[in-house]
Amino acid sequence: MNENLFSSFITPTMMGLPIVIIITMFPSIMFPSPTRLINNRLISIQQWLVQLTSKQMLSIHNQKGQTWALMLMSLILFIGSTNLLGLLPHSFTPTTQLSLNLGMAIPLWAGTVITGFRHKTKASLAHFLPQGTPLPLIPMLIIIETISLFIQPMALAVRLTANITAGHLLIHLIGGATLALMNISTVTAMVTFTILVLLTILEFAVALIQAYVFTLLVSLYLHDNT
């Protein structure tokens, strides 16, 4: 029980081949590209969802920030679909790997910061010092603001990893507990099963919410810097 609790999180290789690449690219099959004016139902539903999300997410940005629309939309689609596919039994979720989340968070955050420094240098540097701070506090506050800036990509990556990993671990544990309790006391097993159902509903929500939060924060960092 202890060893195979974490075995669903190791990088999948089949006969020595790294099929993690294929598993990471699998969600792209779920999103066919629209070819006609009026498409089939799958594409129409996806188009409607993407328009709904993009209008809501890009409304706060100016012209320059809205050039990031494609990036933010593909980000939320990728994280959302990967998290949802990870809720299927026995499947591997790429977003539980810190390497992938760091690989997503650091370049995007660095892109927003570098955009800010290139185009609005004074305003970007001014972010390090909130308005109206007393004079003796300034050095300490600049250090604190620098630390909080550099922790942003780490927080983005670790938040996503920890949430999804913790959810999957809880499902494994409570499912195992339900199975073990079934022979001992059926009533307790029913209670545990109810907890499992509620947890699965929560995990569906968390899968989508985490995608949204990730993308929202990237867009906020972008808004600060454009």
Partner 1 sequence: MASVVCVFRSSFSVPLKEKKLLDVKLGELPSWILMRDFTPKGIAGAFQRGYYRYYNKYVNVKKGGVAGISMVLAAYVVFNYFRCYKELKHERLRKYH
For every residue of 146-191, DSSP letters joined together read HHHHHHHHHHHHHHHHHHHHHHHHHHHHHHHHHHHHHTT-HHHHHH
Instruction: Name all contacts of 48-57 with Cβ < 8 Å and 24+ positions apart.
Output: 50/77, 57/215, 57/216, 57/219
- Which one, 121 or 185, has the nearer CB to partner 1? 185
Site for partner 1 in 21-50 (CB under 8 A): 26, 29-30, 32, 40-42
> Considering only residues 12, 120, 169, 175, which one is a binding residue for partner 1 as defined by CB under 8 A?
12
CB within 8 A of 144, min separation 6: which ones?
none
Asked whether position 175 contacts partner 1 by CB under 8 A, the answer is no
Asked whether position 131 contacts partner 1 by CB under 8 A, the answer is no
> Considering only residues 90, 122, 130, 131, which one is a binding residue for partner 1 as defined by CB under 8 A?
90
- Which one, 20 or 170, has the nearer CB to partner 1? 20
CA-based R_g, the chain, Å: 22
Q: How far is the CB of 34 from partner 1 (least distance, A)?
A: 11
- Which one, 84 or 199, has the nearer CB to partner 1? 84
- Which one, 111 or 176, has the nearer CB to partner 1? 176
Give the span between the Cα atoms of 144 and 46, in whole angstroms: 42
Asked whether position 89 contacts partner 1 by CB under 8 A, the answer is yes
Q: How far is the CB of 26 from partner 1 (least distance, A)?
A: 7
Name the burial class of residue 104, with classes exposed (0-12), middle (13-18) and buried (19+) by CB atoms within 10 angstroms of its CB.
buried
